[in-house]
Structure 1
């Protein structure tokens, strides 16, 4: 098990996705954000079933940065309740994992 995670969110436009991605990378809360446009989402919202085209964002970061990343994402995300799901990176290419560390903020001590 590594200390790396992938955080998933979606948003309603490519412009919002690009803005969020750039913001998180500039703050070094994300080493990389991959944007996948054209995702069709079906969900319950305020008593109705909705279906929308969205962009999926795959955010690569470390576990110790999750709280700061989540707080920042909530500030800049246009949704009332943005998706915010973190999944562990169990293993990976050592070179890629080292690159992630080099691109992220220094480690934060977890409580």
Structure 2
């Protein structure tokens, strides 16, 4: 069974997150991208505590494609330091894992 990995990234808005997802799907780096359109982020940047509206992108790929997907996401991302994190699935429904693998092949 293929090993599924998830990439989590924030984006400045839902449209940017959707554009990133669409590009990665078109390039077969991810099988699917879920855009969570509205969230509030609180973080320290350049010495000041900042709040901003952001969107989240959850991208589904395989462990074999995760590094390439991460690199491309970072390349396309508008942030100077994009928050991109990888989570490896401990298990996945075999049919889902197979679908993800087929989509990024």
Please indicate, yes or no, whether the TM-score normalized by the shorter chain is above 0.5: yes
**Aligned position for 2:30:** 30
Cα separation, 2, equivalents of 1:75 and 1:67? 12
Mapped partners of 2:88, 2:76: distance in 1: 24
Note the residue ranges of structure 1 that are not aligned, 5 or more in a row.
106-111
Q: 2:88: which partner in 1?
A: 88
TM-score normalised to the size of structure 1?
0.89
TM-superposed CA distance for 1:3, in Å, is 1.9
Q: Give the total of aligned pairs.
A: 105
Deviation string, structure 1 residues 83-106 (Cα, Å, up to 9, x no partner): 11001111121111111111013x
* Runs of 4+ deviating beyond 6 Å: none
In the other structure, the counterpart of 1:76 is 76
Task: Find the residue that maps to 2:87 and give its secondary structure.
Answer: strand
Asked if 1 retains the 8 angstrom alpha-carbon contact of 2:36 and 2:57, the reply is yes
1:1-111 mapped onto 2 (5 Å cutoff) = 3-105=3-105
CA apart distance, 1:68: 1.1
5+ residue gaps, structure 2, are none
TM-score for the superposition, normalised by structure 2: 0.94
